[in-house]
Amino acid sequence: MISQGSLGATRPLDWFHYIALGITVSIAGELPWGGWLQIPILSILWWRLSLLNTTQVLPHFAGGFLFGLAYFVVGLWWIYISLHDIGGMNAALSVAAVVLLSAYMALFFGLACAIAGKLRHTSLTLNCITMAAAWVLMEYLRGQLFTGFPWVGFAEAQVNGPFAAIAPLLGGLGSTFLVVWASMQLSGWRQSLLRATIPVGLSIALMLGLHQLRFTEAVASPISVRLIQGNFEQRLSWNPSAIQQQIRFYSTAIEQQAADLIVTPETAFPWPEKDLPSESLPKLRAFVQASHSNVLLGIIGVVPKANGDLRYSNRALGFSSTRNELYHYDKSHLVPFGEFIPPGFQWFVDAFKVPLSDFARGSMSQPPFQIERLGQNSIGAAITICYEDVFGNELASRIRRSETPVNLLINMTNLAWFGQSQAPSQQLRLSQMRSIETGLPSIRSTNTGITAVIGPNGRVLHQLPQFTQATLSASVQGFAGKTPFVIWGNWPILSLASLLLALAFFKRQRF
């Protein structure tokens, strides 16, 4: 006979609870203290799952899946804007695309809950570390399978929460582990308030101590930086006269004032390099030579194939007064559908009424851009384009394997695709987490916002308001050194999570 508790996640009232919790946790992540707020709300989720009173997989999976579905629909609704408002896709198909992507993401939440439910034990401590370990492993898989899409994880909200300090040691997944563990600890307050809250309080105190650790240090003198925010509508990117106006704006804005580093957003010049007005790049080179500036320009690059054909790339083109050759960084982690078409999905692209590209993929071992200054040491900058900064382990690997030191992170992006949504603030938090993980400052140059300068501790030092045409001028200090996360990547946290799950399995077999 099946108990009512074992069917708990299939009852309509429980569906509502899990969905409401998913919506609430997602909204909380967008608030100024979101990293703190998510923890007590998540504790309610774990309490609801504990009421199932069963180790059957399906009820736990269903609860985690419904939570995740609501969480991702709210967190990723801006995809609807790019598909419908800008891409011209049918509204119903656009909604379906958001829901299907969210459902796929939610599978990982459901699997984590199912694993923890299957290994459930009478010990709250063991249940806490089991859920945290399962969640971390599923989050890692979410960032790897089918090119990965680890957006709106719990880690990013920790830039405004208690557990960011673990990121230089164990990366964003380390922060995720502590969020899940702490929230599940709090879910046991009914059994013993002290046993539930004291470990969480001690862990937060430990984070205060970890905040004092420094793995990188300032190097050379600060550089002057100008970040240009053009605020051009995405729809204009397919209008030839509007494109020419955009090219003229960025060319003029670059030449208005010298700086050690001038950065434009992704595809500031939205035409292929070979099709640009003949005077565009020579004029920029002349300005660089005369002003001793360094410039990073977002452009559509041209990549020759072995058979003589040409492919295009999403490129950062670098100019330096001390080098004759131009620097190229071609985006290596491409966006499915936007920058390459997955096999079997041509029908989906045909429904999207804007030109899409099948870009060439850049190498994962491209060197950093060298910011040259007269009479001083150069500053090495690791570049990411668009959502590449969501993949912290890849960035850490690039810094670790670089033959020349990396002192600064640069992200060039164009979020005009997503209108007035939470996507810009979400990506800002991603850049903040990358700075915390690496101990290096970040600068972000965006088309519509949020253009910002971020310190090595993840704090936003300067930023421009969104949807304004402006230039952010600032002084940025480069840093040198490597955090443990840069040295080891995700291996320590993944090994720890695997060992804890193995321990939980062994304990469950004996139990």
The CA distances from residue 484 to 6, 305, 365, 396, in Å, are 43, 39, 20, 10
Beta-carbon-side half-sphere exposure of residue 214 (alpha carbons within 13 Å): 9
Q: What angle do CA 142, 100, 63 make, to 5 degrees?
A: 70
CA distance 115 to 8: 17
What residues are paired with 411 via a beta bridge? 384, 444
Tokens 């800008």 belong to 86
253 CB contacts (<8 Å, ≥6 apart)?
228, 230, 264, 471
Cβ–Cβ < 8 Å for 454, 444 = yes
CA distance 338 to 359: 9
- Other CB atoms within 10 A of residue 510 CB: 7
Residues classed as catalytic: 266, 331, 386
CA distance 2 to 269: 64
Nearest residue to 414 via CA among 298, 328, 272:
298
The DSSP result for 469-491, as a single string, is -EEEEEEE--EE---HHHHHTTH
Tell me which H or E stretch contains 348.
Answer: helix 346-350
Q: Reduce the DSSP state of residue 88 to 3 states and report it.
A: coil
Nearest residue to 135 via CA among 116, 118, 149:
116
CA distance 35 to 204: 13
What is the DSSP-derived secondary structure letter of residue 344? Answer: T
Q: Reduce the DSSP state of residue 494 to 3 states and report it.
A: helix
Residue type, 33: W
Helix axes 91-118, 124-142, angle to 10 degrees: 140
Pairing type for strands 470-476 and 223-229 reads antiparallel
Nearest residue to 387 via CA among 425, 356, 427, 360:
427
Query: Three-state secondary structure along 212-274?
Result: CCCCCEECCCCEEEEEEECCCCHHHHHCHHHHHHHHHHHHHHHHCCCCCEEECCCCCEEEEHH
